[in-house]
Structure 1
Amino acid sequence: MRVIAGSARHLNLKTVPGMDVRPTTDKTKETLFNVLNADVPYSKFLDLFSGSGAIGIEALSRGADKCVFVEKSRNALSCIKDNLDFTKLGDNAVILPMDVIAAIKSLESNGEVFDIVFMDPPYNKELEKSVLEVLSSSSLINNDSIIIVESSNETDLSYIGNLGMHIYKEKVYKTNKHTFICKDN
């Protein structure tokens, strides 16, 4: 796994040992950032269920002003720190070692709005639904914010309309997909 583009281009990243984390493949990550290309520079990026931190690090490498990494696994947190040190992108990073819902509530008190929210929760446990329900009324996003959910192809997101949001793009791969969501205007 490596950084695809930007200031840390071609640097190899550590992955979290074991089967608890599924790293996003380089090809899938490249496709994701091709879609987000114009939105990443100068953005505030929120990486939920960060794992190794590869997605947030890619955003920082491509010019995001800030990335907040949210992860509760100790092994993953260590991996994120090592990867940020290795890529020298840590100055623009904040790591929150906690549950995603707790992190969202904590971040709301700062008054920040994120341009891009990426989440890659464990597949087929409906964790993305809980997070989207909280985000739908959160001050962390506005009508210009982009939310991306990485999930298994079987994941049903048909409830999005009930949350005052809509899906505006979906990229389907062999075993997973990226769903691009924004608030209704």
Structure 2
Amino acid sequence: MSLKVIAGSARGRIIKTLPHDNLSIRPMLGRIKKSIFDIIQFKIPYSIFIDLFAGAGSVGIEALSRGAKKVVFAELSDISLSLIKRNVNMLGFNDKAKIVKCDIIKDFAVLQDKYDIIFMGPPYKDENKKALALTYPVLRNVMRYDILKDDSILITQKHIKEPVGNLVGLECFRTEKYGDTIISFYKHAKLENIRNETGF
């Protein structure tokens, strides 16, 4: 299976991935990815971006194509890591990409840095097709390890039935629904200037 880069320097280029029935790599639908990047487009140039549960790297590569300064791809699956490396090499983004193998729940400390944009799209189900609920634990790690800058945007992709509790210091300021997928946008609760910068 393959996907296309939507916009930017690599527009129209092919990203290799695996079939939809592979639960370890669940590529984002093109229309959802386009909507997300249309919303955050003015934040992307020169940004430090992290793609959590990166899969084949589609989201992070889209950010690089649109002018991100650096993208960190965080993933545990060896299959996914191989695809990310292949796609990054093929598109010539090696110098702007950092690929990290880690368990995003257990080993989050290795990702400790400051990021302008954080995207997380964890799998909805495990290899036995059992429902997962990974969004809240990762949000908790984001706050614990203090990886947000004052004006950062954090974006989550989750199943509509997955519960997510509130976290002190983190405010959801926009939510979009696409079928059974929910995309939420977060910011530091103490700041308001993000609305002015992004037009929300």
Tell me if TM exceeds 0.5.
Answer: yes
What percentage of residue pairs aligned between the two structures are identical?
36
Give structure 1 stretches of 5+ with no counterpart: none
Select 2:69's aligned residue among 40, 65, 82: 65
Task: Please tell me the root mean square deviation across aligned C-alpha atoms, in Å.
Answer: 1.4
Give CA-to-partner distance per residue, 1:73-123, whole Å, 9 cap, x none. 011111101110111112100000111135530132xxx310000001012
Q: Distance in 1 between matches of 2:70 and 2:97?
A: 6
2:147 paired residue number: 140
- Residues 115-146 of structure 1, C-alpha deviation per residue, up to 9 Å, x if partnerless? 00000101241211111111113231133111
Counterpart contact for 1:47–1:119, Cα < 8 Å: yes
Which residue of the other structure, out of 26, 30, 47, is the alignment partner of 1:43?
Answer: 47
The unaligned stretches of length 5 or more in structure 2 are 125-130, 191-200
Does the residue aligned with 1:56 lie in a helix, a strand or coil?
Answer: helix
User: Which amino acid in structure 2 is aligned with residue 121 of structure 1?
Assistant: P
4+ residue runs over 4 A deviation:
none
Which of 169, 179, 198 is the equivalent residue of 1:174? 179
CA distance in 1, matches of 2:71, 2:182: 22
The equivalent of 2:119 in structure 1 is 118
| Distance in 2 separating the partners of 1:181 and 1:84 | 28
Normalising to structure 2: TM-score of the pair? Answer: 0.85
Alignment match, 2:10 = 8
CA distance in 2: counterparts of 1:42 and 1:56, whole angstroms: 13
* Distance of 2:183 and 2:94 partners within structure 1: 26
The equivalent residue for 1:81 is 85
What is the aligned length? 180
TM-score of the pair, normalised by structure 1: 0.92
